[in-house]
Amino acid sequence: MSVSHITCFLFLFLHLSPLTGQGAGAQSIFTIDSVTLKLDPRGEVDSGTFMDLNCEVSVSHDQSHPLTHSFNFLRDDVLVYSKNTTDPAVLHQLTPARAANSGTYKCQVIVQDKSKSSNTQRLTVTGLQTPVLQVTSQILFEGDEVAANCSAPDEYGSLLFHFYQDQEKIKQVRATGNSVETRLELKHAGDKHLRCYFEITMVPDAGSGVEFWVKYLSHSLSVLEEHSGEYVCKANRGNVQKEAYESIKVKELFSKPVLVMKPREVFERENFTLNCDTDRYSLERINIGDVKYSLCRNQVLLASGGNYSATAHPSLNGNYSCQAQAQGRGLKIFKNSTQIVFKAKVPVSIPLLSVVGGRLILGKPFQLQCQSDNGSLPITYTLLGPHRQAKLRVVRNPWDLALFNITSIHRSTDIHNFSCKANNNPRQAHMESSGEHLRRTATIIEPVSRPVLTVIPNMGDVAEGEDLTLTCTVQRGTPPITYTWYHTKSALPLLSKTSNDMRLSLSVQGVSREHGGGYFCVTNNPSNDSQKSAMVTVGVKLAGWKKGLIAAFCILLTVSLIIIIIVKKGLLPFRRERTVELSVKPASTKTDETLRLTHGEVSEAANVTPGVMGRSIWSDHVSGSESDDQTSEETTEVAEPQYTEVHPQEVDHTRAPVKKGTDTVYSEVRNSNQGNILFNVH
């Protein structure tokens, strides 16, 4: 086989110009650069070793998406494994490797109608598995046949089994798998030893030849300075590939034009200029005046020449570029500048200041947001608060917000002290909010003040059956306000009601003793700041009719007692008309001495209990031996008394004598049917 010399000028995979591009329906250009097969471990390995066979391919192509590769693993030119994938490498494993895996391996990769194979790798697996021999019976007669099975379960390939009786080979069988079953005839009597072994027949190496024809390729183009670099030419014929490399340096006729815009950032209604120029020339080939410029917007001619001025407006937004052209050796050379994406920035509009969430609560922290509806980013927002203290926020992304944290305000009018400024152009003045939007849109909630609970009746005392009114009043707070009344005898509220009024009353009709005790009220509004009043104690008095009943009962009781006393006292005049005469006959011989008592003294004695009768009356009139004298003296002190004679009785000698001085006196008191009272005098 002979290979002719290949002359190759250029083989380009780049779209250098519209003339060298391919249509959408053209076939892709590619070449298989190399295919590599690696064995791990490599060379000679023991039977049972785990092996990795890795095949890698390198393909050059002009497509953005990967090509499909067909990987084929061959042992002694016999396919043992294949896989289709877009990946540049495929792994084939032998788990584990056996003697039948020994051979010469290579990897073949097929891409569309082209293929390429790797270099061959030799793998030798040493060692075989010990075969297993089984027979149906171990006691036979001469001339009988025995069924024998010889197997090597872990081996595979073309296995040839040999059977021996003692040292004599009696049969040979080639198996289609890794075991064989056959019948053996035993020719001689006696103890015999049967054994088997196997061998694997390896496939011999195979070869192939390749023949190909060579054809020539040439390519020419008008080059520019940016085409300088190394070029490669590749020729394929079947699985044979040849490559040639060449470096090309293109000398520049004039440099690529540069388009400059001033100022770089332009706001609407501001002036801007565009300038196009080149900074290097090949003076031996062209003159500076030979280079002509033109300006384009969105690839449409805008102006001839290298300069352009205008006032920024949205209608002028677009992609600007300039083109320089010159004549060189009969050829026109065109070079385009890098495009400038021009978009006039939008001036910031008057910002609006608002409360985040739409409402704020006096005395609590809140957030203010400053935002302009129009304006190119970045925008710098400045919040001016009380005492003109400034806070800055810079918004650089569309999803960012200019939020300002405010500690608190305590009066609704304090909201008027906030304003906001916005600016995105250092050449223009700030745009400032008036604060009107904030005052119009902000909902300011004033927390409720501590409520005051009042009771009607004012003294807090109410009679049973009467009505009780509990009025809860707040001095300030943004409605609606929720009023809740509580009684200390229950954890549950008596009533909860929402109203726009600054006071609300709870009426309890027909109070009873159970309604007595402490009362308080709790107020709340959208600020969620509850306030509790002081506790008011209510006393419940008896009803009027109960008081009248008790008074009537007391009067009746009093009258009853008076009547009883009057009735009892009514006997006194009758008793005063009666007189009592008491005669005491002393034990002495003086028989003419007589003791006289007034009727009042007798009556007083009659009302004394018998146990103390002697002391109550006689102790004032009789005292030992002086009783006669004292009686006589007291008798003379009473004016004209009436007397009742008391006849003396005979001395009862059965009674114990009472001594008076040295004398013994016997006395006896008796009650007569006529009301006479007799006293025992000791």
SS3 310: strand
Distances (CA, A) of 399 to 280, 343, 375, 377, 395: 45, 21, 14, 11, 9
Q: DSSP string of 9-48?
A: -----S--STTT---TTSPPPEEEEEEEEEEES-EEEETT
What's the pLDDT at 515? 87
Start-end ranges of CATH 2.60.40.10 in the chain?
A: 30-126, 132-202+217-251, 261-276+288-342, 351-445, 452-541
CATH 2.60.40.10 assigned to domain 261-276+288-342? The reply is yes
Fold of 452-541: Immunoglobulin-like (2.60.40)
- The span from the CA of 368 to the CA of 403, in Å, is 6
Hey, what amino acid is at 79? L
First to last CA, the chain: 184
- Which stretches of the chain score pLDDT less than 70? 1-27, 138-143, 187-190, 202-223, 236-241, 328-331, 388, 459-460, 542-547, 571-682
The residues, ordered by sequence, that sit 6+ positions from 603 with a Cβ below 8 Å of its Cβ are: 572, 575, 576
SS3 550: helix
Largest CA distance in the chain: 204
- Look up the CATH number of domain 30-126: 2.60.40.10
Q: In the beta sheet, which residues pair with residue 168?
A: 165
- The span from the CA of 270 to the CA of 383, in Å, is 28
Residue 448: left (phi > 0), alpha (psi -120 to 50), or beta?
beta
2.40.50.100, 2.60.40.10, 3.40.50.620, 1.10.3720.10: which CATH number matches 132-202+217-251?
2.60.40.10
Contact criterion met (CB below 8 Å) for 292 and 324: yes
**Closest to 225 measured CA to CA, from 133, 333, 119:** 333
Give the containing element (helix H, strand E) for 553.
Answer: helix 544-569
The tokens describing 219, both together, are 């390519």
What's the pLDDT at 56? 93
**Closest to 423 measured CA to CA, from 410, 414, 432:** 432
Number of helical (H) and strand (E) elements in the chain, helices listed first: 7, 45
What number of CA atoms fall less than 13 Å from residue 597's CA on the CB side?
26
What number of CA atoms fall less than 13 Å from residue 543's CA on the CB side?
11
Q: DSSP string of 197-226?
A: EEEEPPPPP-----------B-------GG
Give the containing element (helix H, strand E) for 634.
Answer: helix 627-637
**pLDDT tens profile 129-184:** 788 888 877 666 666 777 888 988 878 777 888 888 877 787 888 887 778 888 87
Global confidence as pTM: 0.44
The tokens describing 65, both together, are 């998406």
Q: DSSP string of 559-587?
A: HHHHHHHHHHHTTHHHHHT---------S
Q: What is the dihedral of CA 370, 374, 377, 381, to 10 degrees?
A: -20
What's the pLDDT at 112? 86
The tokens describing 544, both together, are 């009027």
Highest CATH level, class, for 351-445: mainly beta
3-state secondary structure 136-176: CCCCCCCCCEEEEEEECCCCCCCEEEEEEECCEEEEEEEEC
